[in-house]
């Protein structure tokens, strides 16, 4: 009984129900889903904006809100209550940005994926590092997450995953990712096959 209550409470706090419904067809989602999903995401966005506003040194006219403890608390609450929706949006972004149809076709043909998008990411990282070195970004702590956020997907999708697929040991991993991408973008359709076999 207590375990079920704790599970329900955690699900409510993190927005797990909104996350699960996001993968369903629009007709299968509840009518309140858009308000709940985007409401949580919006609150998280506002908490991040407030946190950055406070950390970058702008004056908050209400003394209580100018406390660093309050800023971190607001950030934590905002991110926690939107953890599952933000996870879904992150997955959507990574698959939209990296696992494109061209990417999947390249791997299917035994070719290394086109790295154009990774080059854009690396250029953006270089710009952030240069701006930080020149003193335009006076708080280097947020440069590290940005570089980390960009670097890990580039390494994963343009080095690790192609290596596994092209060397044969990770082909099933790629197929699972590709089919998951199709299901994510077109849940009403059958996932496509990229191994040359029929559905």
Among 47-56, 73-82, 133-142, which range has the highest average pLDDT?
Answer: 73-82
Residues 54 and 109 both lie in one domain: no
Looking at residue 199, what is its pLDDT?
47
Residues 109 and 187 both lie in one domain: yes
Residues 82 and 102 both lie in one domain: no
Place of tokens 């946190």: 51
| Chain mean pLDDT for the chain | 79
Contact 66, 60 (CB under 8 A): yes
Helix then strand count (H, E) for the chain reads: 10, 0
Residue 34: inside a domain: yes
Residues 12 and 105 both lie in one domain: no
Q: What is the mean pLDDT of residues 51-78?
A: 73
Tell me the residue range of the domain where 50 lies.
1-87
Contact 51, 71 (CB under 8 A): yes
Residues 123 and 155 both lie in one domain: yes
Its sign, for the CA torsion 66, 71, 74, 75, is: positive
Residue 155: inside a domain: yes
Residue 92: inside a domain: no
For the chain, how many structural domains are there in total? 2
Question: How many residues are there in the chain?
Answer: 199
> If you write DSSP's letter for every residue of 113-147 in order, what string do you get?
PP-HHHHHHHHHHHHHHHHHHTTS---GGGHHHHH
Looking at residue 153, what is its pLDDT?
81
Looking at residue 198, what is its pLDDT?
45
Question: 0.75 cut: is pTM over it?
Answer: no
Residue 125 pLDDT exceeds 80: no
What does the pLDDT look like over 145-160, one tens digit per residue?
666 777 788 888 888 8
Neighbour-count burial of 160, counting CB atoms closer than 10 A to its CB (0-12 exposed, 13-18 middle, 19+ buried): middle
Residue 193: inside a domain: yes
Residue 165: inside a domain: yes
* 6 vs 140, residue with greater confidence: 6
């Amino acid at each position: 009984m207590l375990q079920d209550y704790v599970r329900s409470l955690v699900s409510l706090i993190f927005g797990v129900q909104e996350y699960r419904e996001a993968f369903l067809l629009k007709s299968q989602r509840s009518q309140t889903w858009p308000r709940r999903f985007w409401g949580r995401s919006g609150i998280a966005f506002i908490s991040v904006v407030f946190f950055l506003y406070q950390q970058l040194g702008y004056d908050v006219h209400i003394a209580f809100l100018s406390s660093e403890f309050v800023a971190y608390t607001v950030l934590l609450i905002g991110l926690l209550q939107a953890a599952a929706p933000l996870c879904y949006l992150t997955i959507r972004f990574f698959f939209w940005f990296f696992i494109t149809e061209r990417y999947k076709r390249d791997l299917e043909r035994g070719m290394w994926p086109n790295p154009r998008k990774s080059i854009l990411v690396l250029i953006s990282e270089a710009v952030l590092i240069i701006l930080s070195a020149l003193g335009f970004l006076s708080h280097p702590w947020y440069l590290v997450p940005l570089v980390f956020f960009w670097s890990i997907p580039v390494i994963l999708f343009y080095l690790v995953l192609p290596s596994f697929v092209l060397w044969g040991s990770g082909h099933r991993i790629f197929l699972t990712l590709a089919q998951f991408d199709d299901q994510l973008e077109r849940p009403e359709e059958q996932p496509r096959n990229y191994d040359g076999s029929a559905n």
